[in-house]
Amino acid sequence: MMSVAIHGAAPESGPPGAVEPVTLRVSGAKPVRLRGHKLTEGHSRAAGCIAWHEVEIWQLENSREIAVALRTRRPGGEAADLHRAELFPDLAEALDWLEGFDPVADLTVDFDAGDRRLSAVEVALRAAALRGRAEVVTREWRALLGEVLFVLDAEAPA
C-alpha cells in the first residue's frame, strides 16, 4: 500500500506566504540557510519499502529563487537518511531537477554479487528482489512528484 501526502503553501508556523528563516540539512556538507516561504511539501511511503522520499520547495524572500530540500529516508534511523538541498534561479529549473532525480540512486545493495559463497542462482534471486524493491521506490517517487507538480500548477496564477 502506497501513500502520498502533500501539504499546500501555508506554513505551519504562520499565515500563508509568511517568510520564515529556514535551515535545510545536507548530508556531508554545510546546511543551506535561507529566508523564504514554503510553496509545498510532501512525502510518500509504501508499506515495507526500503526507501521513501520527502520534498520541500521554498521560494526565497523577495526573489524568484527556489530552494529544494530532498530527503531519502531509509529504515534504520536518522543515520541512514540522505539529505540534499539545492538552490535554483527559478521554479522551472527546480522542477526540471526534481523530474531528473533518480530515486534509486541512493539504494544500498544488501549483497555482494562477487561473493563466492553465493551461488549464481542466489545472486540472480537477490538481484531480482532488489529490482522489485527499486521499482516500488520508483513508483512511489513518481506518485509524489506528480502530486507536487499538480499542487504547484493548481496554485500558479492563471
H helix intervals, the chain: 91-100, 120-155
- Three-class secondary structure of residue 93 per DSSP: helix
Residue 11's pLDDT is what? 39
The residue among 44, 69, 45, 67 whose CA lies nearest residue 56 is 69
Write out pLDDT tens, residues 63-90: 999 999 999 988 776 557 899 999 999 9
- The percentage of the chain sitting over the pLDDT mark of 70, rounded to a whole number, equals 80
Query: Is the per-residue pLDDT at 91 higher than 50?
Result: yes
Cα torsion at 5, 76, 38, 142 (round to 10°)?
Answer: -50
Cα torsion at 72, 73, 78, 81 (round to 10°)?
Answer: -30
Query: Is the per-residue pLDDT at 148 higher than 60?
Result: yes
Here the cell at position 142 is: 513518481
Here the cell at position 131 is: 529490482
Q: What is the mean pLDDT of the chain?
A: 83
